[in-house]
Amino acid sequence: MSYFEQLQTRSDAHIMRSYGPPKGAFVRGKGTVLFDGEDQPWLDFLCGLAVTSLGHAHPAVSKAIADQAELLVHTSNLYLTEPAIELAERLAKITGWDDASVFFAQCGATANEAAIKLARKHGKRIRDDKVRVVTLSGSFHGRTLATLEATGQPGKHEAFQPLAGFVDTVAHDDPDALRAAVTDETCAVLLEVVQGEGGVRPLDAEVVRAAREACDAHGALLIADEVQTGIGRTGPWFAFQDTDVVPDVLTVAKALANGMPIGACIAHGEAGRVFEPGDHATTFGGNPVTCAAANAVIDTIERERILTTARARGVRLSEGLQRFVGFVPFAIGVRGKGLLLGLELDRPVAAQVEAECRERFLLVNAIGGDLLRFAPPLTVSRQEVDQALKTVEEALRAVAETTA
């Protein structure tokens, strides 16, 4: 039995089957490369679902974790520790919000839960029934009950109905429908400026503008879910910074601590003063080890000017994929921003292409049947981009041969 098969057997025995069949097993990683049980290197263009943006085992992050773990691992939210305060200060700086106020959570869903609760409390201060949240079709906001309901993918709701019924979902490409859906009962519009899990889809600038205008007209908060797009994934620190709209609340998670579990709900202005003692809490919030990792992430990105090189790599990958269109089987378009990119296929063969990439030791992932998602680390090299492009081309041609 291979290492992978051994782990799979043990996993089948005792890990709940909420996930699909595993696609590999890894022991260690360095930069863009993962190593399996046989020490085979794999090129990782998915980076733990847009998480390990500085690459695997980044020395500055590993050192920050180890140093903090030797000092102090946990105290709870009853006491202050410096790494959390330092991280909140850094988040204030990179959002550009001097009065940013941060709630630390554990992941994207719990950051969004905090944002939704904050918005509902904001709404109820204005009128008792101002608790509805408007979201967009194709969005993904998490798997807790509130964030699941806010996720604009009805298929994911089915097994858990009835849900609470406080969400109105409108088409992601219809600014007028969005304006019409926001009423005096709306406490927030929740959106991803670039939809991730729903298919690597940048929202039209007019939709983002409509959301801001509708929120202003009805006293609702605009919440930008930057769980996937935040920390440089689409180019700037946050995707909203490439738009002419500023949200009231922003959520971030995934890449913030390069793989340590963390989430943050960041509010400013009046929204930053909504929560009062007792309104919201979590035992692990602001954990010093995860916050130390996040501080090292932001520090490294700033010191090594990684956002600039990442933008250049994004252009290289995007242009490389664009060259497939019309020349390589199935490829019909490229969408996304920065280093969050999708190759559109003309038929539902993305899972087969993903599998052919795996045969060639490249990790990418299929979304929705006809899209291949790329989310390599921001530190990916030119050579690695070129190598991945070559492998994807081979994989597309291999699938074309088998389906011919």
Ligand X SMILES: Cc1ncc(COP(=O)(O)O)c(C=O)c1O
| Positions that interact with ligand X (CB under 6 A) | 49, 107-109, 112, 140-142, 192, 196-197, 225, 227-228, 253
Per-residue H/E/C for the chain: CCHHHHHHHHHHHHCCCCCCCCCCCEEEEEECEEEECCCCEEEECCHHHHCCCCCECCHHHHHHHHHHHHHCCCCCCCCCCHHHHHHHHHHHHHHCCCCCEEEEECCHHHHHHHHHHHHHHHHHHHCCCCCEEEEECCCCCCCCHHHHHHCCCHHHCHHHCCCCCCEEEECCCCHHHHHHHCCCCEEEEEECCEECCCCCEECCHHHHHHHHHHHHHHCCEEEEECCCCCCCCCCCCCHHHHCCCCCCEEEECHHHHECECCEEEEECHHHHHCCCCCCCCCCCCCCHHHHHHHHHHHHHHHHCCHHHHHHHHHHHHHHHHHCCCCCCCCEEEEEEECCEEEEEECCCCHHHHHHHHHHCCEECEEECCCEEEECCCCCCCHHHHHHHHHHHHHHHHHHHHHHC
Q: Least separation, in Å, of the C-beta of 238 and ligand X?
A: 12
Q: Least separation, in Å, of the C-beta of 367 and ligand X?
A: 11
Bridge pairing between strands 41-44 and 132-136? unpaired
What is the CA angle 248-249-254, rounded to 5? Answer: 150
- Of the pair 225, 370, the CB lying nearest ligand X is at 225
Q: Least separation, in Å, of the C-beta of 303 and ligand X?
A: 26
- Of the pair 146, 349, the CB lying nearest ligand X is at 146
- Of the pair 107, 177, the CB lying nearest ligand X is at 107
Q: Least separation, in Å, of the C-beta of 228 and ligand X?
A: 4
- Of the pair 155, 277, the CB lying nearest ligand X is at 155
Q: Least separation, in Å, of the C-beta of 115 and ligand X?
A: 10
Q: Least separation, in Å, of the C-beta of 192 and ligand X?
A: 5
244 CB-contact burial (10 Å; exposed 0-12 / middle 13-18 / buried 19+): exposed
Using CB atoms, what's the residue nearest to ligand X? Answer: 108
- Of the pair 107, 315, the CB lying nearest ligand X is at 107
Q: Least separation, in Å, of the C-beta of 373 and ligand X?
A: 11
Cβ atoms within 10 Å of 87's Cβ, excluding its own:
26
Q: Least separation, in Å, of the C-beta of 111 and ligand X?
A: 8
And the tokens for 94? Answer: 């990179």
Q: Least separation, in Å, of the C-beta of 147 and ligand X?
A: 7
Q: Least separation, in Å, of the C-beta of 287 and ligand X?
A: 15
- Of the pair 228, 290, the CB lying nearest ligand X is at 228
- Of the pair 103, 140, the CB lying nearest ligand X is at 140
What is the CA angle 86-29-192, rounded to 5? Answer: 55
- Of the pair 147, 391, the CB lying nearest ligand X is at 147
- Of the pair 363, 398, the CB lying nearest ligand X is at 363
Bridge pairing between strands 221-225 and 365-367? unpaired
- Of the pair 142, 320, the CB lying nearest ligand X is at 142
Q: Least separation, in Å, of the C-beta of 181 and ligand X?
A: 20
- Of the pair 142, 329, the CB lying nearest ligand X is at 142
Bridge pairing between strands 41-44 and 362-363? parallel
